[in-house]
A and B are shown apart, each in its own frame.
With several copies, the nearest count.
Chain A
Amino acid sequence: MKLITAIIQPDKLDEVRESLLKAEITRITVSRCSGRGRADQVDLYRGQVVAPDLINKVRLDIACNDNYVDIAIDAILTAARHGAEGKIGDGKIFVTNLERCIRIRTGETGGEAI
Chain B
Amino acid sequence: MKKVVVLVLALVCGMLFMPGQCFGQEQAAEQEIVIDTGTTAWMLTSTSLVLLMTPGLAMFYGGLVRTKNVVGTMMHSFAAMAIIGVLWAICGYAMTFGTSHGWCGWDWEKFMLSGIDSKMRASGIPEVVFAMFQGKFAIITPALIAGAFAERVKFRGYCILIILWSLLIYNPLAHWVWGGGYLTGLAKDFAGGTVIHISAGISGLVMALYLGSRRGYPKTAMHPNNLVMTLMGAGLLWVGWFGFNAGSSESSGLLTGQALTVTQVAASAGAVTWMLIEAFHHQKATSLGFVSGMLAGLVAITPAAGDVMVPGAIVLGVAASIVCYLALRLKSKLGYDDSLDVFGIHGVAGIVGALLLTFFLRNVPDHGIGRQFYYQLEGVIVSGVYAGVVTLILTVRIDKTVGLRMSAPAEMAGMDHSLHGESGYGMLNMN
A–B in direct contact per CB < 8 Å: yes
Chain A contact residues, CB within 8 Å of chain B: 10-15, 30-34, 41, 43, 45, 48, 50-54, 56-58
On whether the beta carbons of B429 and A33 are closer than 8 Å, the reply is: yes
Bound-complex Cα distance A57 to B428 (A): 11
Question: B295 to chain A: closest CB distance in Å?
Answer: 25
Q: Could you tell me the dominant secondary structure of chain A's interface residues? A: mixed
Closest to A42 in B: B219
Secondary structure at the B interface, as helix, strand, loop or mixed, is: loop
The count of chain B contact residues (Cβ–Cβ below 8 Å) is 21
In the bound complex, do residue A10 and residue B417 qualify as a contact, i.e. CB atoms below 8 Å apart?
yes
In contact, B216 and A50 (Cβ under 8 angstroms)? yes
- Contacts A50-B216, A51-B220 given; does A56 touch B412 at CB 8 Å: no
With the chains together, A50 CA to B220 CA distance in Å? Answer: 7
Given A10-B417, A11-B414, A54 contacting B219 (CB threshold 8 A): no
Q: With A and B bound together, what is the CA distance between A11 and B39 in angstroms?
A: 52
> Within 8 Å of chain A (Cβ to Cβ): is B18?
no
- Complex contacts, B413 vs chain A, CB 8 Å: 10-12, 14
Chain A contacts of B423 at CB under 8 A? Answer: 56
Residues of A within 8 A of B431 (CB): 34, 53-54
Kindly supply a per-residue 1/0 record for chain B positions 390-431, scoring 1 wherever the CB is within 8 Å of any chain A CB and 0 otherwise.
000000000000000000010011100110000100001111
| A34 with B429: CB separation less than 8 A | yes
**Cα distance A53–B218 in the bound complex, in angstroms:** 11
Instruction: Known pairs A13-B412, A14-B413, A30-B430; list 4 more (Cβ under 8 Å).
Output: A11-B68, A52-B220, A54-B431, A56-B428
Asked, given contacts A11-B414, A15-B409, A15-B412, whether A41 binds B219 with beta carbons under 8 Å apart, the answer is: yes
Closest A residue by C-beta to B221: A53
Docked complex: B164-195 residues within 8 A CB-CB of A? none
B398 to chain A minimum Cβ distance, whole angstroms, is 24
Residues on the A chain within 8 Å of B68, using CB? 10-11
Among A10, A33, A51, the residue within 8 A (CB) of B216 is A51
Interface residues of B in 204-261 (CB under 8 A from A): 215-223
| Bound Cα distance A87, B223 (Å) | 21
Query: CA separation between A54 and B271, bound complex, in Å?
Result: 30
Residue of A with least CB distance to B220: A53
Whether the Cβ atoms of B429 and A32 lie closer than 8 Å is yes
Q: Is the CB of B220 within 8 A of A11?
A: no
17 contacts between A and B (CB under 8 A): A11-B413, A13-B412, A14-B215, A14-B412, A32-B430, A33-B429, A34-B430, A41-B219, A43-B219, A45-B216, A45-B217, A45-B220, A53-B216, A53-B221, A53-B431, A56-B429, A58-B430
User: What 1/0 mask marks residues of chain B from 331 to 371 whose CB sits below 8 Å from any chain A CB?
Assistant: 00000000000000000000000000000000000000000
A31 to B423, CA, bound (A): 16
Chain B, residue nearest A15 (CB): B412
> With A and B bound together, what is the CA distance between A41 and B428 in angstroms?
22
